[in-house]
């Protein structure tokens, strides 16, 4: 992993699926871009309103209705504003989209063109030279889907911005060139102060968040490329009748039942994606079963 000097006069767009991702993933980068005379914009996809366990803990309630969820999202939106203030980011730099928390993958699947266009329009309005997005293999479904949406939105942009992927929920094996960003003592303290403003998240996850914030910020320089449609999974035979394969390309998004998916096994027993068109494809193996476990079992893969 190598260090990386922030270019002067950068225009940084940070794509944050939830309040606190902007600080946890990019709190130092935001400060350093501003210090180097650049401009920043935070595209906040959701207000983090579907966050039941911290809400139950802090509000001492078991059942959460729609009104309570909306109020929680409002509270988290206020927290992100305070956090950005700690980082020296002006309030006008926040651009919230107001999508539903835990439903970014559903938006990608059900309205790919409109959802991609929302991100592309925000990027074209700001004209970033640098875009920080969640890591593709981040195990939170909103994070992985946000990466795919951003990659599709950036296709054909001129000039093409550099892409950095930041891991939050376990993405150590992310493909690409790893880089690190060292913080000064003051920048580190500002980041910790900003994280403290996310009180709803610090209540139950404070130790994990501080552990993730320890040390330099880590990114992956996204350069694209994949291994000829190779898929990493070995789907259990018993689950195959219920498994689905979600494939996102610049041409659109399809969600196949696994038995009907365009995949085949090669001589080594490796599953490969078969499709006629060239270009980037992002693939997700998933089950449509309801579960209290929010994280992805298989996640996304670039093929």
Q: At 107, which CATH number?
A: 3.40.50.10320
Residue 276 reports pLDDT greater than 60 = no
| Residues recorded for the chain | 303
**First and final C-alpha spacing in the chain:** 25
CA-nearest of 303, 300, 253 to 113 is 253
Q: Mean pLDDT, to the nearest integer, of 54-63?
A: 93
Sign of CA dihedral 45, 50, 53, 57: positive
In a domain, 158, yes or no: yes
Residue 278 reports pLDDT greater than 70 = no
Which of 21-30, 166-175, 217-226, 268-277 has the weakest average pLDDT? 166-175
Q: Mean pLDDT, to the nearest integer, of 260-269?
A: 90
Q: What is the pLDDT of residue 266?
A: 87
CA-nearest of 192, 194, 14, 200 to 86 is 194
Residue 72 reports pLDDT greater than 70 = yes
User: Which three-class secondary structure state does DSSP give residue 58?
Assistant: helix
Pair of tokens at residue 122: 């925000």
CB 166 within 8 A of CB 25: yes
Rounded to 5 degrees, φ, ψ at 153 are: -70, -30
pLDDT band at 279 (very low <50, low <70, confident <90, very high): confident
Domain membership of residue 156 as a residue range? 2-221
In a domain, 226, yes or no: no
Residue 273 reports pLDDT greater than 60 = yes
- β-strands 299-302, 130-134: how paired? unpaired
- Position with higher pLDDT, 224 vs 81: 81
In a domain, 228, yes or no: no
Q: What is the pLDDT of residue 55?
A: 94
Q: Mean pLDDT, to the nearest integer, of 129-142?
A: 95
Same domain? For 60 and 169 the reply is yes
Quote the DSSP letter at residue 170: S
Task: Specify the number of domains making up the chain.
Answer: 2
Q: Mean pLDDT, to the nearest integer, of 284-301?
A: 88
pLDDT band at 165 (very low <50, low <70, confident <90, very high): very high
Neighbours of 120 (CB within 10 A): 18
Q: Mean pLDDT, to the nearest integer, of 132-156?
A: 95
Q: Mean pLDDT, to the nearest integer, of 68-75?
A: 96
CB 48 within 8 A of CB 18: yes
Pair of tokens at residue 277: 């068109």
Q: Mean pLDDT, to the nearest integer, of 157-175?
A: 84
CB 194 within 8 A of CB 83: yes
Same domain? For 72 and 214 the reply is yes
Residue matched to tokens 């130092």: 28
pLDDT band at 228 (very low <50, low <70, confident <90, very high): low
Residue 207 reports pLDDT greater than 60 = yes
User: Averaging pLDDT over each range in 165-169, 187-191, 213-217, 249-253, which range is the top one?
Assistant: 187-191
> How far lies 165's CA from each of 56, 126, 147, 170, 288, in Å?
32, 19, 8, 12, 27
Residue 277 reports pLDDT greater than 80 = no
Same domain? For 142 and 25 the reply is yes
Q: Largest Cα–Cα distance of the chain, in whole Å?
A: 56
Q: What is the pLDDT of residue 286?
A: 94
Which of 99-103, 174-178, 280-284 has the weakest average pLDDT? 174-178
Same domain? For 249 and 154 the reply is no
CB 37 within 8 A of CB 16: no
Same domain? For 182 and 257 the reply is no
> How far lies 266's CA from each of 229, 230, 243, 274, in Å?
11, 10, 20, 11
Same domain? For 57 and 87 the reply is yes
Sign of CA dihedral 133, 169, 279, 223: positive
In a domain, 227, yes or no: no
pLDDT band at 169 (very low <50, low <70, confident <90, very high): confident
Mean pLDDT taken over the chain: 92
In a domain, 230, yes or no: no
The residues, any chain, with a CB within 8 Å of residue 237's CB and separated by 6 or more, are none
Same domain? For 202 and 259 the reply is no
Q: What is the pLDDT of residue 102?
A: 95
Same domain? For 144 and 285 the reply is no
Report d(CA 283, CA 303) in Å as an integer: 7
Residue 38 reports pLDDT greater than 70 = yes
Q: What is the pLDDT of residue 181?
A: 93
């Amino acid at each position: 992993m190598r260090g990386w000097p922030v270019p002067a006069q950068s225009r940084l767009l940070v794509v944050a699926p939830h309040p606190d991702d902007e600080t946890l993933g990019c709190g130092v980068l935001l400060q350093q871009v501003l210090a180097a005379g650049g401009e920043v914009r935070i595209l906040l996809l959701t207000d983090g309103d579907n966050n039941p366990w911290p809400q139950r803990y802090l509000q001492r309630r078991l059942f959460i209705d729609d009104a309570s969820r909306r109020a929680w999202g409002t509270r988290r939106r206020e927290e992100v504003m305070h956090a950005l203030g700690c980082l020296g980011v002006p309030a006008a730099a926040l651009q919230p989209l107001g999508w539903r928390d835990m439903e970014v993958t559903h938006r990608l699947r059900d309205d790919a063109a409109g959802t991609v266009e929302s991100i592309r329009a925000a990027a074209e309005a700001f004209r970033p030279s640098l875009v920080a997005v969640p890591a593709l293999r981040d195990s939170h479904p909103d994070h992985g889907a946000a990466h795919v949406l951003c990659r599709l939105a950036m296709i054909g942009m001129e000039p093409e911005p550099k892409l950095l992927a930041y891991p939050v929920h376990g993405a150590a094996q992310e493909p690409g060139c790893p880089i690190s960003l060292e913080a000064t003592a003051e920048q580190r303290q500002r980041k910790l102060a900003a994280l403290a403003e996310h009180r709803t998240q610090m209540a139950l996850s404070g130790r994990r968040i501080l552990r993730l914030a320890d040390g330099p910020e880590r990114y992956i320089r996204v350069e694209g490329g994949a291994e000829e449609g190779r898929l990493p999974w070995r789907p259990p035979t018993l689950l195959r009748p219920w498994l689905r394969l979600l494939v996102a390309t610049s041409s659109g998004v399809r969600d196949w039942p696994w038995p009907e998916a365009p995949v085949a096994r090669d001589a080594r027993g490796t599953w490969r994606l078969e499709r006629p068109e060239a270009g980037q494809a992002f693939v997700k193996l998933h089950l449509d079963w309801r579960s209290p476990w929010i994280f992805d079992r298989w996640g996304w893969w670039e093929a």
